[in-house]
Structure 1
Amino acid sequence: MFIYKFVGFGFDDTATDESTDAYDPHAHRIVAKPCTYGETMMHMLKGCLGAGLLAMPNAVARMGIVLGALGIIFIGAFATYCIQILVLAQYQLCKRHRRGYMAYTKSIRVAILGGPPQLHWSANCFANLVDFFLVFWQIGICAIYFVFVAENVKQVVEFIGYEVTVRRVICYSYPPLLICSLVKDLKLLTPFSTISNACVLVGLVLVFFYLVEDDVVLDEDKYKVKGLEDIPIFIGITLFALEAVGVILALEYNMEKPREFTGFCGLFSVGMMIILATYIALGVFGYLKYGNECKGSITLNLPQDEKKAQVAKLTFTIALFLSYPLQNFVAWQIVWRKTHKKVSDKWKRTVDYALRVILATIPFGMAAAAPSLGAFMGLLGALCLTMVAILFPALMDLCVYYPNRYGFMRWKLWSDIFIIVFGMVCCASGVYTSVLEMVETYDL
Structure 2
Amino acid sequence: MAATVDSSSTAPLLRGPPSTGQRRTAGKATSAQTLGNIVVSIVGTGVLGLPYAFRVAGWLAGSLGVAVAGVSTYFCMLLLIQCRDGLEGNDDEETGDATHIQSYGDLGAKAFGTTGRYLTEFLVLISQAGGSVAYLVFIGQNLSSLFTNTSRSIIPPSIFIFLLLLPIELALSFIRSLSSIAPFSAFADACNVLAMAIVIKEDFQLFDRFSLERGAFNGTWGLPFAGGVAVFCFEGFSMTLALEASMADRRKFRWVLLLAFITITLVYISFGIFGYLAYGDETKDIITLNLPNDWSAITVKVRCNAYGERLSLQGARMLVLLIVAIIASCIPGFGTFISLVGSTLCSLLSFVLPATFHLLLMGSNLKLWQRAVDYLVLLVGLAFACYGTYDALSDRIRVSKSIP
Displacement of 1:250:
5.3
Q: Is the 8 A contact 1:58 1:295 kept in 2?
A: yes
Displacement of 1:217:
5.4
Q: Indicate which of 23, 26, 41 corresponds to 2:24.
A: 26
Displacement of 1:247:
4.6
Q: Indicate which of 71, 89, 94 corresponds to 2:83.
A: 89
- The answer to whether structure 1 residue 362 and structure 2 residue 352 are counterparts is no
- The answer to whether structure 1 residue 426 and structure 2 residue 384 are counterparts is yes
* Distance in structure 1 (CA, Å) of the matches to 2:132 and 2:369: 38
**Counterpart AA for 1:111:** A
Superimposed CA distance per residue, residues 322-344 of structure 1 (whole angstroms, 9 cap, x where no aligned partner)? 3x23xxx3xx4xxx6xxxxxxxx
* Distance in structure 1 (CA, Å) of the matches to 2:182 and 2:249: 17
* Counterpart residue number, 2:94: none
Displacement of 1:233:
1.0
Q: Is the 8 A contact 2:288 2:300 kept in 1?
A: yes
* Counterpart residue number, 1:106: 106
- The answer to whether structure 1 residue 176 and structure 2 residue 168 are counterparts is yes
Displacement of 1:383:
1.6
SS at match of 1:77: helix
**Counterpart AA for 1:383:** T
* Distance in structure 2 (CA, Å) of the matches to 1:168 and 1:290: 29
* Distance in structure 2 (CA, Å) of the matches to 1:110 and 1:380: 26
CA gap 1:88/1:95 in 2 versus in 1, 3 angstroms: same
- The answer to whether structure 1 residue 141 and structure 2 residue 131 are counterparts is yes
Displacement of 1:398:
1.2
**Counterpart AA for 1:364:** A
Displacement of 1:423:
0.6
Displacement of 1:298:
0.9
* Distance in structure 1 (CA, Å) of the matches to 2:51 and 2:79: 30
CA gap 1:165/1:288 in 2 versus in 1, 3 angstroms: closer
* Distance in structure 2 (CA, Å) of the matches to 1:261 and 1:185: 31
CA gap 1:163/1:296 in 2 versus in 1, 3 angstroms: closer
Superimposed CA distance per residue, residues 259-303 of structure 1 (whole angstroms, 9 cap, x where no aligned partner)? 26731x12x333323322221111111122112322211112222
Displacement of 1:207:
1.1
* Distance in structure 1 (CA, Å) of the matches to 2:185 and 2:286: 22
Displacement of 1:25:
4.6
Q: Is the 8 A contact 2:140 2:158 kept in 1?
A: yes
Superimposed CA distance per residue, residues 357-407 of structure 1 (whole angstroms, 9 cap, x where no aligned partner)? 443333123334x2536455643432211111100100111122222x114
**Counterpart AA for 2:262:** M
Q: Is the 8 A contact 1:57 1:282 kept in 2?
A: yes
* Distance in structure 2 (CA, Å) of the matches to 1:277 and 1:220: 18
Q: Indicate which of 230, 233, 236 corresponds to 1:238.
A: 230
**Counterpart AA for 1:269:** L
* Counterpart residue number, 1:311: 299
* Distance in structure 1 (CA, Å) of the matches to 2:314 and 2:358: 36
* Distance in structure 2 (CA, Å) of the matches to 1:144 and 1:257: 34
**Counterpart AA for 2:295:** K
Q: Is the 8 A contact 1:47 1:244 kept in 2?
A: yes
SS at match of 1:222: coil
Q: Indicate which of 112, 118, 130 corresponds to 2:120.
A: 130
* Distance in structure 1 (CA, Å) of the matches to 2:398 and 2:274: 29
SS at match of 1:211: helix
- The answer to whether structure 1 residue 224 and structure 2 residue 220 are counterparts is no
* Distance in structure 2 (CA, Å) of the matches to 1:42 and 1:192: 17
- The answer to whether structure 1 residue 406 and structure 2 residue 333 are counterparts is no
* Counterpart residue number, 1:7: none
With structure 1 as the length reference, what TM-score do the two structures score?
0.72
* Counterpart residue number, 2:183: 191
* Distance in structure 1 (CA, Å) of the matches to 2:187 and 2:218: 38
CA gap 1:126/1:280 in 2 versus in 1, 3 angstroms: same
SS at match of 2:214: helix
SS at match of 1:26: coil
With structure 2 as the length reference, what TM-score do the two structures score?
0.79
SS at match of 1:243: coil
Q: Is the 8 A contact 2:59 2:217 kept in 1?
A: no
* Counterpart residue number, 1:11: none
* Counterpart residue number, 1:115: none
* Distance in structure 1 (CA, Å) of the matches to 2:324 and 2:252: 30
* Counterpart residue number, 2:95: none
Displacement of 1:132:
2.3
CA gap 1:381/1:284 in 2 versus in 1, 3 angstroms: closer
CA gap 1:251/1:178 in 2 versus in 1, 3 angstroms: farther
Which range is displaced more, 75-84 or 55-64?
55-64
Q: Is the 8 A contact 1:93 1:107 kept in 2?
A: no
- The answer to whether structure 1 residue 372 and structure 2 residue 361 are counterparts is no
Displacement of 1:163:
5.7
* Counterpart residue number, 1:339: none
* Distance in structure 2 (CA, Å) of the matches to 1:222 and 1:250: 42
* Counterpart residue number, 1:435: 393
Q: Is the 8 A contact 2:211 2:277 kept in 1?
A: no
- Structure 1 residues not aligned, in runs of 5+: 1-22, 113-122, 337-350
* Counterpart residue number, 2:60: 66
SS at match of 1:379: helix
* Counterpart residue number, 1:8: none
**Counterpart AA for 2:289:** L
Displacement of 1:225:
0.8
**Counterpart AA for 1:313:** K
Q: Is the 8 A contact 1:138 1:246 kept in 2?
A: no
CA gap 1:261/1:167 in 2 versus in 1, 3 angstroms: farther
* Distance in structure 1 (CA, Å) of the matches to 2:139 and 2:157: 9
SS at match of 2:47: helix
SS at match of 2:146: helix
